[in-house]
């Protein structure tokens, strides 16, 4: 699983930072910053889905692993 953040869509609701601080930080303006790159470890999948499911601006996308 990978997680993508569209910074253009982010309006700084800070829902992701509250729910998944392991994956998201916020900058001085309150805009989300993605802390991870590449494949997410299994134990963070739930948090990533939760962050995406609570972003009012649909700025977070989850890309599930495509099996070969």
Partner 1 sequence: MSVDETTTSPEPFEYVEPIFGDSPEGTHVWQRVPYNADDYGPVGDFATDFDHADPAYNPNAPAVWKQLRESGCPVAHSDRYGGMWVPITHDTVNEIAYDTENFTSRAVVVSVGRPGDLSLPAPIGGAPPITSDPPFHNMARRLLLPAFAPKKIEPWEPEIRLLCQRLLDDMGEITPGESIIDAAVQYAQHIPVNVIGRMLGFPEQDEELFRKFVHDVLERIAEEPGSRDGMDDLGKYILTQIAEHRENPRDDLTSYLLNVEIEGTPVDDEIAAGMIVLLLVAGIDTTWSAIGSSLWHLAQHPEDHQRLLDDPDVMTFALEEFLRSYAPVTMARMVAKDNDFHGCPMKKDDWVLLPFPAANRDPHQFEDADTFIVDRQENRHAAFGLGIHRCLGSNLARLELKVAIEEFTKRFPRYELAGDTRWSVGQIRGPRDLPVRILEVAD
- Where on the chain is the footprint of partner 1 (CB under 8 A)? 11-15, 17-19, 26-30, 50, 53-58
Question: Cβ of residue 38: shortest distance to partner 1, in angstroms?
Answer: 26
Residue with Cβ nearer partner 1 (4 or 39): 4
Question: Cβ of residue 68: shortest distance to partner 1, in angstroms?
Answer: 30
Phi, psi for residue 49 in degrees, rounded to 5: -65, -40
Phi, psi for residue 6 in degrees, rounded to 5: -95, 100
Question: Cβ of residue 42: shortest distance to partner 1, in angstroms?
Answer: 19
Q: Whose CA is closest to 51, among 24, 25, 22, 16?
A: 16
């Amino acid at each position: 699983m990978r997680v993508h953040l569209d910074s253009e869509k982010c309006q700084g609701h800070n829902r992701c930072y509250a729910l998944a601080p392991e994956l998201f930080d916020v900058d001085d303006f309150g805009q989300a910053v993605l802390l991870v790159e590449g494949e997410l470890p299994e134990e963070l999948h739930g948090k990533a889905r939760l962050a995406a499911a609570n972003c009012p601006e649909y700025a977070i996308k989850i890309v599930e692993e495509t099996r070969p």
